[in-house]
């Protein structure tokens, strides 16, 4: 990923990406690039932690309009990995539409889409390590 790629993402999404995310993209773990090419090519449209500018743009233009959040990867089955765009909270969250207390069909003022969020890691770097460990595990089941 290059600075020009990051600028293209920001311009396309009309969003200033948090510095911690830009730094992560510029230093994306090589192991995930290699595993992404081999592991996700035929199994999913997007990897759990997207590296492609086009994928990041596509993921964030699928109809979501949740200000303050950015989709950074696909968890399959219409679930996504998010980060906050405030630059303060650097955690990675999984949005699970099957989460207890959340129903996509009956989202109301009392139960918002955020009820489906759960923290997966304190940072993108930690999340990348978790993904690599899951990917290379002989007993892997999903992401």
Q: What string of pLDDT tens digits covers the 143 residues of the chain?
A: 999 999 999 999 999 999 999 999 999 988 887 776 544 544 445 677 888 899 899 989 987 777 899 999 888 777 889 999 999 999 999 988 766 555 555 555 555 677 778 999 999 999 999 988 887 765 655 54
pLDDT of residue 36: 65
- Please name the helix (run of DSSP H) or strand (run of DSSP E) that holds residue 50, with its range, or none: none
Cβ atoms within 10 Å, residue 7? 13
pTM (2 decimals)? 0.81
The phi-psi region of residue 104 (left if phi > 0; otherwise alpha if psi is between -120 and 50; otherwise beta) is alpha
pLDDT of residue 132: 86
What are the structural domains, with CATH classification, of the chain? Answer: 3-136 (3.40.1580)
Sorted by sequence, the CB contacts under 8 Å of residue 132 that are 6+ apart come out as 29, 31, 32, 35
Tokens linked to 113: 């889409």
């Amino acid at each position: 990923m290059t600075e020009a790629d990051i600028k293209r993402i920001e311009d396309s999404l009309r969003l200033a990406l948090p510095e911690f995310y830009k730094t992560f993209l510029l230093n994306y773990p090589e192991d995930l690039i290699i595993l992404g090419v081999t592991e996700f090519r035929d199994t999913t449209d997007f990897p759990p932690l997207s590296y492609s500018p086009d994928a990041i743009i596509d993921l964030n233009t699928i109809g979501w309009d949740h200000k303050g959040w950015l989709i950074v990867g696909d968890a399959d089955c219409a679930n996504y990995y998010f980060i906050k765009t405030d630059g303060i909270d650097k955690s990675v969250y999984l949005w699970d539409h099957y989460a207890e207390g959340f129903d996509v069909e009956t989202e109301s003022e009392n139960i918002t889409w955020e009820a489906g969020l759960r923290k997966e890691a304190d940072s993108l770097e930690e999340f990348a390590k978790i993904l690599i460990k899951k990917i290379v595990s002989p007993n892997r089941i999903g992401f």
